[in-house]
Structures are given as structure tokens and as C-alpha cells.
Amino acid sequence: MSHVIQDQRPATVPARRGSPLAHARMPRWAPAAIAVGSVAAGIGIGLAAGWESRVQWGMIAALLFVVATYVITTAVENSRQAKDRVATSLVWVCFVLAVVPLASLSWVTVSKGLEVLDPYFLSHSMNGVLDAETGGGVYHALLGTIEQVAIAAVIAAPIGMLTAIYLVEYGRGRLSQAVTFFVDVMTGVPSIVAGLFILATWNLMLGFGPSGFAGSMALAILMMPVVVRSTEEMLKLVPNELREASLALGVPKWKTILKVVLPTAIGGITTGVMLAIARITGETAPVLLLVFGTKLINPNPFEGAQASLPLYVYEQYAVGTDAAVARAWGAALVLIAFVMILNLVARGIARWKAPKTGR
């Protein structure tokens, strides 16, 4: 007896309209078409009603987009699909809402900043430049910012990283709870308070004058909790198995942390430190109190007033003449570019140092 193995398939049933698995579907371009339609309708309604505000036009377009998506999908497909598509369209609306201010900010800063940004602007100070005059530059402020931020990072990064290592690898009980609590509190300290604290202790009690270093100390206070938090998160991501593997080889705990845990997390830690640096680079308040600002180039952060980019922007904008406001935009562009370069460097280091998985 020979067996022929046969796949016993039921006779194919032609797909009917009433099949529970199939229903009418909208074409792929439908969401885009609805979006274009609602934007057009929003503009039309705005023009017809004679509204000035473009924001209002956008709001109406966004509202129309969500409502139209729901109505059309319910009619063509079904109500479950409609809910799905409404959720998608809400995500898109929120995305646009988030991108519009960002794009507008970048556009305004770049277009206004480029008017004054040239090698002369980057290589000269404000020495002898009158407020209403064009010319002058940000060299002294850029130099001050770089020095102050570098000193702050040198103070805050090691302390912050060591604190995080203590919290993750060693901390047990009361002390670590207290440290965690105070780090959280420090995260919320307004920058002006950090500035006032240094002003009260360093300048008023100990009698030092304004200097870049005083500003650095205030910036370090602001930077430390950010470094602790990000380093802590990165160290927690290191699998415990790696620590155990190292300990089981007879490697002491401190060496395990130094040679196994830190190298595994170094990419993320670097990114965290760089982001913390980016955060303090734009701080104005403590710099205003402690570094004081000057028109001259002062390369020594430990002696005498210095300038700094955010402070420069503030001062120039406060002057209010056309030339000064243009300089303020130029300095804002330099500041944003500086922070962006730092972030790109951080990304590069993180990618370079990340654990390799390739074959």
C-alpha cells in the first residue's frame, strides 16, 4: 500500500464582500491628502474670515486634520481603524507643534546672526567700540565662556562621576539615600541661587573680586547633579553579569569597576557629561553676578572680570541700538553653534567608545 501525502486543503472560497478578515482600505496617500486638504481649508477659512494670525490658521488646520481623519476613516473603513488613524494623526500634529518653534528659532538666529558673523567678529573684542557703532566682536566672550565652562567641567565631572559610582556600586542604606535626595534637590536649584551662594561665600565672606573662576564654581554646582544623574543611569545599565564575571575571576571590586564597568558605560557617561556642559554653557544669571562682564580680553580666569557669551547677548540686547542687537544675534548664533559642536563631539565619542558587536 502506498501512501501519497496530500495537503488536505479545503476548496478555496472566493473572497466575498462579507468576509470577516477583509474590509475596504484607504489608499496609502490618504493621510497626506487629508493633511494637504485641511491645511488648504485652514488657510481658506482664515482668509475668508480676515484673521491676521497665522497661528490661528495653523490651529484650525490641525483641528480639521484630526476631525477629517476620523470622519473619513469611519466612513470608508471602520471605527477601530478610525481610532488608530486619529492616534497617528495626533502624533503628527504634536510633532509639527514641537518642530515649528525649533525651526523658527533656528531660522531667526541663523538669518540674523549671519549678518554680523565673520572672522573679524570672532577674533575681536568690544574694546573701544561704542554701543551705536557697528563692528566689535565676541572674542573676549567666547574665550571667557570656554575657560569658565572648562574649569566648571574639571571641577564637576570627576566629583559627579565618583558620586554616581558610589551610589551605584557601593551605596547602601542611609548615606546613599541622603546623597540621592540632595542630588535631586540640587537638580532643582535655580541658577541665580547657585550664583548668590558663591557671591555670599567666595566674594563677600572671603573677599575675592569678580572672576571667571567664581562663575565656574557656580556653574559646577549646577552641573554636578546632572552628571551624577546621567552617570548613575548609565552605570545601572551595565549588566550585573559582567560585574560577577569579573569578580569570579578574582578581580578586586575597585578594579572591576575601573576596567570592566566604566569602559562598558563610558560612551553614555561621556554623552551625559557633554550634555551637562551644554546645559551650563547657556547659563546667564551666575555669570552676571560673579564674572561681571567686560569689554576687554581677559585671558586669566582667576583674576578680574571676564566676559561670557550669554552675558554678552544679554548686555548687547539691553543696549538696544541696531548695531548692538545685531551683535547680540551674532553672539547667540556663536553660542548655539558652540553647544552643537560639543554635542556632535559627544556623539562621536559615544559611538567610538560604544561596546562593539560586529563580527
Partner 1 sequence: MAKRIDVSGLSAYYGNHRAIDDISMTVEPRSVTAFIGPSGCGKSTFLRTLNRMHEVTPGGRVEGKVMLDDQNLYGKDVDPVAVRRTVGMVFQRPNPFPTMSIFDNVAAGLRLNGRYRKSELNDVVERSLKGANLWNEVKDRLNKPGSGLSGGQQQRLCIARAIAVEPDVLLMDEPCSALDPISTLAIEDLICELKERFTIVIVTHNMQQAARVSDRTAFFNLAAVGQPGKLVEIDDTERIFSNPSVQATEDYISGRFG
- Residues in contact with partner 1 by CB under 8 A are 172, 239, 241-252, 255-256, 259-260, 263-264, 355-359
The 10 Å Cβ neighbour count of residue 322 is 9
The nearest distance, CB 256 to partner 1, in angstroms, is: 8
φ and ψ at residue 315, rounded to 5 degrees: -65, -45
H/E stretch holding 98 reads: helix 79-113
| Helices within 166-211 (DSSP H only) | 173-187, 191-198
Q: By C-beta, is 103 or 354 nearer to partner 1?
A: 354
The distance of closest approach from Cβ of residue 233 to partner 1 in the complex, given in angstroms and rounded to an integer, is 18
Minimum separation from the CB atom of position 239 to partner 1 (A): 7
Q: Which is nearer to partner 1, 7 or 241 (CB)?
A: 241
Q: Which is nearer to partner 1, 265 or 339 (CB)?
A: 265
Sequence-distant (≥ 6) Cβ neighbours of residue 17 within 8 angstroms: none
Q: Which C-beta is closer to partner 1: that of 81 or that of 176?
A: 176
- Cβ proximity to partner 1: between 264 and 298 the closer is 264
Shortest Å distance, C-beta 170 to partner 1: 11
**Structural element, H or E, at residue 241:** helix 240-248
Nearer to partner 1, 25 or 351 (CB): 351
Q: Tell the smallest beta-carbon distance from residue 173 to partner 1 (Å).
A: 10
Closer of 98 and 245 to partner 1 (Cβ): 245
Please, what is the minimum distance in Å from the beta carbon of residue 161 to partner 1?
17
- DSSP lists the bridge partners of residue 285 as none
What's the Rg (C-alpha) of the chain? 29
Lookup: cell for 339: 553647544
The neighbouring-strand residues paired with 306 are: 292
- The torsion angle over the Cα atoms of residues 257, 258, 259 and 262, rounded to 10 degrees, is 70
Amino acid at 44: G
- In the complex, least distance from residue 251 CB atom to partner 1, rounded to whole angstroms: 4
Of 231, 223, 319, which is closest to residue 268 (Cα–Cα)? 231
Burial class for 280, CB neighbours closer than 10 Å (0-12, 13-18, 19+): buried
